[in-house]
Amino acid sequence: MNITELQSIVGPRHVVTDTARTQTFVADWTGRFSGSTPAVVRPGTVEEVAAVVEWCRANAVPLVPQGGNTGLVGGSVPLHGEIVLSLTRLDAVRDLDDISGQVTAGAGTTIAALQTAARAVGWDYGVDWGARDSATVGGSIATNAGGSRVIRYGDTRAQVLGIEAVLGDGSIISHLDGLVKDNTGYHMPSLLCGSEGTLGVVTAARLRLVPLLTERVVALLAFDDVDGALAACSALRRSVSTLESAELFFDDGLELVCATFGLGRPLTAKAAAYLLVECADRVDPTESLGAMVESVGPNDAAVASEAGRRADLWRYREAHTEAINLVGRPHKLDVTLPAEAMRAFIEAVRTRVQGVVPSATVWVFGHAADGNLHVNVTGVEPGDERVDEAVLTLVAELRGSISAEHGIGTAKKRWLPLNRSAAELAAMRAIKHALDPDAILNPNVLL
């Protein structure tokens, strides 16, 4: 491989070959998936991205696009010696239009930086999740990230008005005018959202902003059983128009978070299931939420309006991911169930997993309002896929989706036919072939 040619495209400083420095780029966030790379290439412009893609094509060298490397399905790392194309230098936030509420963000912009820029002018970005400080706009589009506000603002796909990307043949597509209504053929943002770096390298996006709501209240509600928590979630969704998040977790996860990070328990008594809800409005939503909370009858509740205290309550939910990772490299199974099947799934999933690996520990938490559960399994070898098989087939039996918000990556590739027909898979392959004729873009994920 002629590294000098790559250096001449992006500059010698931006081609990293030293294994001590490439280490953080070749393993995923969980530590379950890792590989190696001859070079991490860090372009600074869309033209440089196009030139690198063209070079890869001409030299038959596959590449893996990478943003913040917070992906949870092993899709962002070079499993078979690919080049890593790191987009973090493309982090400009520009053309922030505070009249229409739109902004153009480079692919490498972190979600936190995007939020900060939007909030400075009275707007906000609608999608939010725990990895906001590292996860990037490009990665979130490639995975169609969801997070904790989907009930109010939709997923990433719902925010993207226009996109700039480099396709597998090296061509640049750019449609960043941000017209809200624009029916001029195929909607490229929709196609690239969730494409996991297999169709194009996202370099920038025109994003929709949402009004900044500063009056907020968070409540942690405790219930005797999962039925109580799910019924409360449904009742709150119907009656509280300011509801932004409704998150579910259980006592084993709460106990782990408290023990791992030395936190006090948030409520005096233990409960079986917890719902964390947040409401946001222009006027203080505390009273209206309070009245509704009483009507859904939790055993106990902690309510917080002040920002620091709200963050404290969120920590019990968001710190699940890190706490579980510290137990051991987890198998992460992010799934959606139809609302009526959630309880049956939660009841059955532990038995199914422990039926194949008795020593496994199963952790369940998630975004209750979206039917999105995160099943994390620890105590299983990274390569032992029996637990993945057990969980994903149970999901399919209950007519759910094997990927709610993290994507397919390499972790779930085998099971895609559980959700997609042969005709759908053939159509996807045809699209892949049209946009990436030499199959150089992230060849080990999705299809």
Q: Which is nearer to ligand MLT, 104 or 336 (CB)?
A: 336
CA 389, CA 415: separation in Å to the nearest integer? 8
Q: Is 138 in the site for ligand FAD (CB under 6 A)?
A: yes
Closest residue by Cα to residue 203 from 139, 133, 124, 117: 139
268-293 as b/e: b if 16+ CB within 10 A = eeebebbbbbbbbbeeebbebbeebb
- Residues 109-138: x where in contact with ligand MLT by CB under 6 A, - otherwise, as a string: ---------------------x--------
Report which of 325, 316, 317 is spatially closest to residue 378, judged by C-alpha positions. 325
Is residue 406 at the binding interface for ligand FAD, with CB under 6 A as the rule? yes
Distance CA 445, CA 49 (A): 20
Q: Which of residues 190-219 bind ligand FAD (CB under 6 A)?
A: 196-197, 201-202
Residue 406 contacts residue 129 (beta carbons within 8 Å): no
Residue 332 site contact among ligand MLT, ligand FAD, none (CB < 5 to 8 Å, cut-off depends on kind): ligand MLT
332 binding ligand MLT? (CB under 6 A): yes
Pick the piece of the chain touching ligand FAD (CB under 6 A) from 17-25, 71-79, 204-212, 414-422. 71-79
Question: Which residue in the set 102, 109, 286, 442 belongs to the binding site for ligand FAD (CB under 6 A)?
Answer: 442
CB of 84 to ligand MLT, least distance (A): 22
Contact partner at residue 65 from ligand MLT, ligand FAD, none, CB < 5 to 8 Å by partner kind:
ligand FAD
Examine residue 147 and tell whether it contacts ligand FAD (CB under 6 A): yes
The one among 62, 67, 285, 330 contacting ligand FAD by CB under 6 A: 67
Which one of residues 109, 115, 136, 376 is an interface residue with ligand FAD (CB under 6 A)?
136
Burial of 206 (C-beta count, 10 Å sphere; 0-12/13-18/19+): buried
Residue 210: DSSP 8-state: E
Among ligand MLT, ligand FAD, none, residue 142 binds (CB under 5-8 Å by kind):
ligand FAD
Q: For 196, left (φ over 0), alpha (ψ -120 to 50), or beta?
A: left
Q: Which of 75, 168, 189, 194 is the binder for ligand FAD (CB under 6 A)?
A: 75
Using only the alpha carbons of the chain, give its radius of gyration: 22
CA 343, CA 82: separation in Å to the nearest integer? 42
Computed from CA positions of residues 401, 402, 407, 409, in that sequence, does the dihedral angle turn out positive or negative? negative
Question: Are 9 and 43 in contact, with CB atoms under 8 Å apart?
Answer: yes
Q: Which residue is nearest to ligand MLT (CB)?
A: 321
Which residues make up the interface to ligand MLT (CB under 6 A)?
72, 130, 320-321, 332, 334, 374
Which residues make up the interface to ligand FAD (CB under 6 A)?
29, 64-72, 75-76, 87, 107, 129-131, 134-136, 138-140, 142-143, 145-147, 196-197, 201-202, 321, 405-406, 442, 445
